[in-house]
A and B are shown apart, each in its own frame.
Chain A
Amino acid sequence: MALSEVEVGTSAVVASLELPHDILDHLMHLGFLPEAIIDVLRRAPAGDPTVYRVEGAEIALRRETARHIQVRRTVQNPDQTREQP
């Protein structure tokens, strides 16, 4: 499934990224790498972009970008520090 489809409050593991090289490079350096765990924190009030937490940083991506990141679901274990939205 695509990262854009993951519900708020859950996490996913990056499987692959299908983006042009320079965007890919930028996102990978922000931590969007295969096997990285991504928490979907919240959506902007207008419903898009969405804030993701990766590697301890909070990064917002538009749906048009997030749908090119393929993820798989993790076992539901929201970590202790996260609050329920």
Chain B
Amino acid sequence: MSCHAPSPPPAVLEESPLKSVQPRGRFRTIALIGPPNSGKSTLFNRLTGLRQKVANYPGVTVEQRFGRMSGIRRHDLTLIDLPGIYSLGGYSEDARVAVDVLKGEMPGTPRPDAVLIVLDALNLSRQLMLAGPILAMGLPTMVLLNMADLMESRGGVVDPLALAQELGRPVALISAARGTGIDAIERFLQQRGGANSEIARTLPVIPIELPVLQNPGECRRWASQVSSRTKYKAPASPLWTRRLDSVLLHRVWGPLIFLTVVVTVFQAVFTVGQPLSDWMGNGLTLLGTKVAHTIPVPWLQELVRNGLWNGVQAVLVFLPQILLLFLFIGILEDSGYLARAALIADRLMRSIGLNGKAFIPLLSAYACAVPAIMATRTIENKRDRLATILVAPFMTCSARLPIYTLIIAAFIPNRPVLGSLIGMRACVMLSLYVLGFLAALLTAKLLKSSVLKASSAPFVLELPQYRWPTVRSLSLRLYDRSALFLKKAGTIILAVSFVLWVLSILPLHNGHFSDLAGSVIGKLGHLVEPALRPLGFNWKIGIGLLSSIIAREVIVGTLGTLYGVDPNTQALSLQAALRHDMTIGGAIALVVFFAFAMQCTSTLAVVRRETNSLRWPVIQFCYMSGLAYIAALLTNQILLHLL
């Protein structure tokens, strides 16, 4: 085993690329690192307040989170939150990113001047294994033992001074959740490096030998030696976590409670989220019309109402469902139940080539694929996560329901099937749900046996202790996720809806806008009609499909506009108009098309962000559209011959 004496801080700071800009020896960039479940995110939120930025590291799907340390009034310091990892070794993307950032080799990220390591005080001997290799990198480092209050209340003991001597670095007991011990971090960050540092004066830091990272066995031995020499006593594991598990993971009660939780979440999202979305949509339409009326110039009025406001509306109607889903997912995750749910669902999910952690995201996709895809972050295995992202939009989301209900009401007679057990309409609706699920299942199988084969990481699930979720952490999560969605998806949706609007009013006739049928988009509808005719769609449906690229539910409004201006059908309601204009084969083909097609710019924008590539959303769009086309074609042709 080779050993390494940490180089003193000044040497490191002299290597810093920032030395010419900054006064010598001053901290500027701080890295925060710690294992999963160590409370790192809570501390990050505590230190930065809400002033944080989220992006992706270049070329990888690892989320980069950083922010000014406004939480402790140090706006001059940038805190970088590194991914939660157990070790610096291994080949995981997360570990590679962490090492690159710490070494200053990550493009676009300045080399950190100092490191804060967060360790779970309840599990110190194991978590020290991560600290060893990081300390050996020689950056000025402070070790934070989080959840110290919990540890002490459960009878755990640690001597922070002895640990500081062992590690040769300052150590502080903190509670990120309660905000205790944060002042020690402030003091550490006040040092200017070099021999006159306050920490160097107050704490006797003796150069010590630390193991070099490679071998986990050596690391483990070193960690247990350190924890035994510092008289660390792990707290008793709380009996009630085990007791709760004996019910929640019980052979009979476990799955029953799991189902109850799932149904409750689902029901709540539909009974509360859907009306909220509708209400918000109506309110926004009203507001948009009112605002537009105050504008005297007609074309500007059109631009504001149809070009911009529609886009704003398309983004905002997603918010209630996203917030609700993230509230539930947040409660499940923070309480510790999410891991249990993953454990229960693993067997089922494995049969389709995914793992248990994919269950809740896929379930959320029945409400909306956007939060579902954002929730896949809990899946550590990148291949499984990608597979989950790619299949999630097949789940029957609520944006499909308007066109489903329109077509079903127009074309399917309300006759009982199977005695009076189920109505024919309900039967068709159910089939559409099953269809989406089957497509997801087949796609998952296909992906896991081809592109995403040979998933090297096993399914390893840590079951954290049960905890009460805090309002603070839940609201931060809601704020964070919705802000992210509004910023990243919002801009794209606005752009797309603006372009669609421009296409729907051009060309100008004597300074007047074209009507929809005569516009560029209308001409495109006519242009694609030959390709859509075998599916049983006419040019109006073609326009509807083109305009619904922004969001699925848009097609209903577009069809309304199109049939509204059609003199033949003006008097009839939209349903009757469609009956007049389409065969039943074409109608069924249309809903089948919507079951498969990726008609959702928000989802594409979120996939683009979460996979950090253009490739996957493009592949996904082409695959789903191709599948939709073929399925609709087959449906129409088969029904044409049957009926």
Which of these, A25, A27, A56, contacts B122 with CB under 8 Å? Answer: A56
Give the complex CA separation of A23 and B89 in angstroms: 11
Do A22 and B90 contact each other (CB < 8 Å), given the known contacts A46-B344, A56-B122, A59-B462?
Answer: yes
Contact string, A49-85, partner B, CB cutoff 8 A, digits 1/0?
1010001111111101100000000000000011101
Which of these, B219, B239, B343, B350, contacts A81 with CB under 8 Å? Answer: B239
Specify which chain B residues have a CB less than 8 angstroms from the CB of A23 in the assembled complex. 456-458
Specify which chain B residues have a CB less than 8 angstroms from the CB of A34 in the assembled complex. 217
State whether A55 touches B243 (Cβ < 8 A). Answer: no
Specify which chain A residues have a CB less than 8 angstroms from the CB of B356 in the assembled complex. 49
Which of these, B126, B236, B249, contacts A31 with CB under 8 Å? Answer: B126
Give the complex CA separation of A51 and B248 in angstroms: 13
Asked if B459 is an interface residue, CB under 8 A from chain A, the answer is yes
Specify which chain A residues have a CB less than 8 angstroms from the CB of B461 in the assembled complex. 49, 59-61
Asked if B623 is an interface residue, CB under 8 A from chain A, the answer is no
Most buried by A among B249, B250, B344: B249
Closest to B239 in A: A81
Asked if A33 is an interface residue, CB under 8 A from chain B, the answer is yes
State whether B220 touches A28 (Cβ < 8 A). Answer: yes
Specify which chain B residues have a CB less than 8 angstroms from the CB of A49 in the assembled complex. 343, 346, 356, 459, 461
**Interface residues in A, total, Cβ within 8 A:** 36
Shortest Cβ gap from A32 to chain B (Å)? 9
Do A57 and B123 contact each other (CB < 8 Å), given the known contacts A25-B89, A29-B130, A45-B251?
Answer: yes
Specify which chain B residues have a CB less than 8 angstroms from the CB of A62 in the assembled complex. 346, 350, 458-459
Give the complex CA separation of A20 and B457 in angstroms: 9
Asked if A1 is an interface residue, CB under 8 A from chain B, the answer is no
Shortest Cβ gap from B445 to chain A (Å)? 18
Most buried by A among B252, B356, B463: B463
Which of these, B348, B457, B460, contacts A59 with CB under 8 Å? Answer: B460
Closest to B214 in A: A25
Closest to B343 in A: A44
Which of these, B456, B459, B463, contacts A22 with CB under 8 Å? Answer: B456
Asked if A48 is an interface residue, CB under 8 A from chain B, the answer is yes
Which of these, B126, B217, B242, B350, contacts A57 with CB under 8 Å? Answer: B126
Specify which chain A residues have a CB less than 8 angstroms from the CB of B243 in the assembled complex. 83
Contact string, A14-29, partner B, CB cutoff 8 A, digits 1/0?
0000011011011111
Count of A-B contacts with CB under 8 A?
125
Give the complex CA separation of A3 and B129 in angstroms: 23
State whether B123 touches A60 (Cβ < 8 A). Answer: no
Interface of chain B residues 445 through 494 with chain A (CB within 8 A):
456-463
**Interface residues in B, total, Cβ within 8 A:** 45
Closest to A66 in B: B458
Do A65 and B90 contact each other (CB < 8 Å), given the known contacts A48-B346, A82-B242?
Answer: no
Specify which chain B residues have a CB less than 8 angstroms from the CB of A45 in the assembled complex. 249-252, 254-255, 344
Specify which chain A residues have a CB less than 8 angstroms from the CB of B228 in the assembled complex. none
Shortest Cβ gap from A79 to chain B (Å)? 10
Shortest Cβ gap from B245 to chain A (Å)? 7
Interface of chain B residues 219 through 236 with chain A (CB within 8 A):
219-220, 234, 236
Give the complex CA separation of A42 and B237 in angstroms: 16
Shortest Cβ gap from A76 to chain B (Å)? 19
Which of these, B125, B236, B347, contacts A46 with CB under 8 Å? Answer: B347
Most buried by B among A20, A34, A44, A48: A44
Give the complex CA separation of A59 and B461 in angstroms: 6
Do A55 and B130 contact each other (CB < 8 Å), given the known contacts A30-B460, A61-B458, A83-B242?
Answer: no
Give the complex CA separation of A28 and B216 in angstroms: 6
Shortest Cβ gap from B92 to chain A (Å)? 7
Shortest Cβ gap from B232 to chain A (Å)? 11
Give the complex CA separation of A28 and B243 in angstroms: 28
Which of these, A19, A44, A55, contacts B125 with CB under 8 Å? Answer: A55
Closest to A85 in B: B246
Do A42 and B245 contact each other (CB < 8 Å), given the known contacts A51-B343, A59-B462?
Answer: yes
Asked if B87 is an interface residue, CB under 8 A from chain A, the answer is yes
State whether A33 touches B217 (Cβ < 8 A). Answer: yes
Shortest Cβ gap from A7 to chain B (Å)? 16
State whether B237 touches A81 (Cβ < 8 A). Answer: yes
Specify which chain A residues have a CB less than 8 angstroms from the CB of B90 in the assembled complex. 22, 25-26, 29
Give the complex CA separation of A61 and B216 in angstroms: 19
Shortest Cβ gap from A49 to chain B (Å)? 6
State whether B220 touches A44 (Cβ < 8 A). Answer: no
State whether B130 touches A22 (Cβ < 8 A). Answer: no
Give the complex CA separation of A81 and B460 in angstroms: 24
Give the complex CA separation of A62 and B384 in angstroms: 15
State whether A60 touches B460 (Cβ < 8 A). Answer: yes
Shortest Cβ gap from B495 to chain A (Å)? 41
State whether B344 touches A61 (Cβ < 8 A). Answer: no
Give the complex CA separation of A57 and B235 in angstroms: 12
Shortest Cβ gap from B97 to chain A (Å)? 15
Give the complex CA separation of A57 and B386 in angstroms: 28
Asked if B621 is an interface residue, CB under 8 A from chain A, the answer is no
State whether B348 touches A46 (Cβ < 8 A). Answer: yes
Listed by A's residue number, 8 A-B pairs whose Cβ atoms lie within 8 Å are A22-B92, A26-B86, A29-B130, A31-B220, A45-B250, A60-B459, A65-B460, A83-B242
Which residues of B come within 8 Å of A, CB atoms? 86-87, 89-92, 122-123, 125-126, 129-130, 216-217, 219-220, 234, 236-237, 239, 242-243, 245-246, 249-252, 254-255, 343-344, 346-348, 350, 356, 456-463
A45-B251, A45-B255 known, 7 other contacts, Cβ within 8 Å: A29-B130, A44-B343, A44-B344, A61-B459, A61-B461, A62-B346, A81-B236
The 6 closest A-B CB pairs, nearest first, are A46-B347, A28-B216, A29-B86, A58-B463, A60-B461, A25-B90
